[in-house]
Amino acid sequence: MPVKPLPPDADLNHLRHQAKDLIKARAARDPLAGQRIREFHPRFKQAIDATIFDGKFSLADAQLTIARERGFASWPKLKRRVEKPTPADDLSLPFQERIEDPAFRRAVDLLDAGDVEGLRSHLNAHPKLVYQRVVFEGGNYFQNPSLLEFVAENPIRHGKVPANIVEVAKVILEAGAKNEPAALNETLGLVCSGRVPRECGVQTPLIDLLCDYGADPNRGMPGAHGEFEAARALLRRGARVDLPVAAALGRVDDARRLLPAASAEDRHRALALSAQFGYTEIVRMLLDAGEDPDRYNPPGFHGHSTPLHQAAVAGHEETVRLLVERGARLDLKDTIWQGTPEGWAMHGGKTQLAEYLRGIKETNSE
């Protein structure tokens, strides 16, 4: 779920006003407010708009939503960041430079240098490092990573990985990370959704290594990130094809076969993915089955936007036209930049598509 990073000069009073504004928008039954609450307030995860608008929602709930929207687990943690920032809070620094534990920082430096023997020696001297995690607040993922997760270079820190990164990862695994299923699966997900491992030619070898050590291939499916090379590697390693996977890969026959038994959550994800990648036949299939074209995408699948936003920015004209024909609203705004699908099309350089959406909007307003 994308977050809004705090600016360096963040003001707590301004953030308090944002929480009060959210309460007002919720009271007005604003669908954008409903999506923000659904995406960032744990009590309303996957709740329908009516539940969000009609349920109890206090100032503390609004502040929690604002805090999590900014990448913090709670309002007190956001408040601490604003009032008493530390060097670890400086989001302009690369992640490794925000690590306060010197032993952990040294391990990451050795990893980044591809120093296999140095890393092995360091982990022998500090055996607990492979079980530790560091805390990074203010982002939407990589908030509590283990050492193993740094091999994925996702988020991007250097834009490249050492040529021997597979051997580096094996050192960490053999030092004990192989006994940490969560770290294995989280690292697999980062490898599969990151472009740097692919660009460096190590994505598939890392996938194979992690799966050899017990990572679940089903946990690595890149979904909305479009890393299809990784998806094929995971399928080879035994990952199952469910409806969202079929939608992301454009496998129409599989989607048709899987749709009747798919859960509501999988149908929602499938609509988000098929619209994003322009698989119009699957979008049509899901709309025919009752999926709502105006529903915001689920968390983890560009939840700040609607299917029409994603299809428009990618330039999938046939998919855009289908969504519009099926009644998709043109005025819904994304939750980060408050842009409409037309604005997204313009931002993506899809001028003709933006003009089409503008024309439809003008016709509808007459």
Category of 290 on φ-ψ map: left (φ > 0), alpha (ψ -120 to 50) or beta: left
When pLDDT is cut at 50, 70 and 90, the band that residue 88 belongs to is confident
CATH class assigned to 245-365:
mainly alpha
Q: Which residue from 254, 216, 217, 249 is spatially nearest to 236, judged by alpha carbons?
A: 217
The span from the CA of 38 to the CA of 48, in Å, is 8
The answer to which of 132-146, 239-253, 289-303, 311-325 has the lowest mean pLDDT is: 132-146
Domain ranges of the chain: 12-85, 95-240, 245-365
Q: Which residues of 202-230 are buried (b: 16+ CB within 10 A; e: fewer)?
A: bbbebbebbbebebbbebbbbbbbbbeeb
Average pLDDT along the chain: 94
**173-198 pLDDT per residue, tens:** 999 999 999 999 999 999 999 999 99
Closest listed residue to residue 227, CA positions, set 184, 194, 205, 272: 194
Highest mean pLDDT among 69-73, 94-98, 283-287, 301-305: 283-287
1: pLDDT strictly greater than 60:
no
Give yes or no on whether 95-240 and 245-365 have one common fold: yes
For residues 266-295, average pLDDT: 97
Q: For residue 133, what are the β-bridge partners?
A: 146
The CB density around residue 102, as the number of other CB atoms within 10 Å, is 8
Is CATH 1.10.10 the right assignment for the domain spanning 95-240?
A: no
Question: Would you state the pLDDT for residue 224?
Answer: 64
State pLDDT tens for residues 289-337. Answer: 999 999 999 988 999 999 999 999 999 999 999 999 999 999 999 998 9
Query: What are residue 146's DSSP bridge partners?
Result: 133
pTM for the predicted model, two decimal places? 0.84
